[in-house]
């Protein structure tokens, strides 16, 4: 999908606001243009406008939950694991450049990396439709969002633990048990690591798989797993820090 850019007039119409409002947002940093031409004209990418209008969580949820498969905006789409790793490293560098976030940087990057790597490692050769992952972040709002349209945790874990009943059951097992598919392989180790990082640090995690959602934050001893308001294909993670 090629990048699309709107002029300030088109962007204002897209968002349903005036050009004066867009200029004010530019001035206070709420929404800056993607680039400014040599002639001083402001241009906005569709991805930036959607990010502002809907928020990263909603964009990821709409993609993961869509009945009709489609590729997400290029700025948020990691088609391969190599692309994901490169963008993860870029995020880590951006975090390191912000003194207020520097202490949490390695922890946040590790959690996001583990979740993103799971999307690729657990779906190799078995992507149902759109391969790859949605990966986006807003360091100003301290949020990271990842999603995939993979097989989901229930299907993955049932290969080693066939008695799992549903997505809620699978989420509890994924975050608490080591599942051995074949010796000496341990499946699901990554999400136990994620749980420890979140509960030991100032992080919050919302993790949805299929029809179930898990919520986790610092100090939690028990898992809070509930039915999701809307089902998705694959997994969706929202990390706040």
pLDDT at 186: 43
Report whether 72 contacts 134 (CB < 8 A): yes
Q: For residue 3, what pLDDT band results from cuts at 50, 70 and 90?
A: low
The model's pLDDT over 24-74, given as tens digits with 9 standing for 90+, comes to: 888 888 888 999 999 999 999 988 888 887 888 989 999 999 999 999 988
> 18: pLDDT confidence band, cut at 50, 70 and 90?
confident
66-90 average pLDDT score: 95
Long-range contacts, stretch 226-229, CB < 8 angstroms, 24+ apart? 226/168, 227/168, 228/167
Please choose, from the candidates 32, 36, 7, 9, the residue with its C-alpha nearest in 3D space to the C-alpha of residue 20. 9
- Spatial distance between the Cα atoms of 23 and 21, rounded to a whole number of angstroms: 5
At 183, is the pLDDT very low, low, confident or very high (cuts 50, 70, 90)?
very low
Domains of the chain: 1-54 (1.10.1660.10), 55-241 (3.30.565)
The answer to whether 161 and 171 are in contact (CB under 8 A) is no
Q: Which SS3 state, helix, strand or coil, does residue 104 take?
A: coil
In the chain the first and final C-alpha atoms are separated, in Å, by 31
- E strand or H helix at 42: strand 42-45
The mean per-residue pLDDT over the stretch 151-158 comes to: 95
pTM for the whole structure: 0.81
d(CA 134, CA 150): 11
CA atoms within 13 A on the CB side of 200: 10
Output the furthest CA–CA distance in the chain (Å, rounded): 64
Q: Does the pLDDT of residue 182 top 70, yes or no?
A: no
């Amino acid at each position: 999908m090629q990048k699309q850019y709107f002029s300030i007039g088109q962007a204002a119409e897209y968002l349903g606001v005036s050009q004066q409002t867009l200029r004010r947002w530019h001035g206070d940093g709420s929404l800056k243009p993607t680039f400014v031409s040599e002639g001083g004209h402001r241009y906005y990418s569709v991805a930036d406008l959607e990010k502002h209008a809907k928020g990263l969580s909603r964009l990821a949820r709409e993609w993961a939950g869509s009945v009709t498969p489609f590729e997400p905006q290029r700025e948020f789409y990691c088609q391969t694991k190599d692309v994901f790793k490169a963008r993860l490293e870029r995020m880590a560098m951006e975090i390191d450049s912000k003194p207020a976030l520097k202490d949490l940087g390695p922890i946040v990057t590790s959690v996001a990396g583990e979740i993103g790597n799971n999307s690729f490692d657990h779906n190799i050769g078995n992507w149902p439709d759109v391969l790859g992952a949605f990966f986006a972040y807003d360091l100003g709002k301290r949020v990271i969002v990842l999603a995939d349209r993979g097989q989901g945790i229930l299907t993955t874990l049932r290969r080693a633990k066939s008695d799992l009943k549903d997505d809620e059951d699978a989420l509890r097992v994924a975050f608490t048990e080591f599942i051995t598919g074949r010796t000496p392989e341990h499946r699901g180790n990554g999400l136990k690591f994620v749980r420890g990082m979140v509960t030991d640090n100032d992080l919050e995690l919302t993790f949805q798989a299929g029809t179930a959602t898990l919520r986790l934050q610092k100090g939690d001893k028990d898992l809070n797993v509930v039915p999701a308001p809307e089902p998705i294909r694959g997994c969706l993670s929202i990390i706040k820090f």
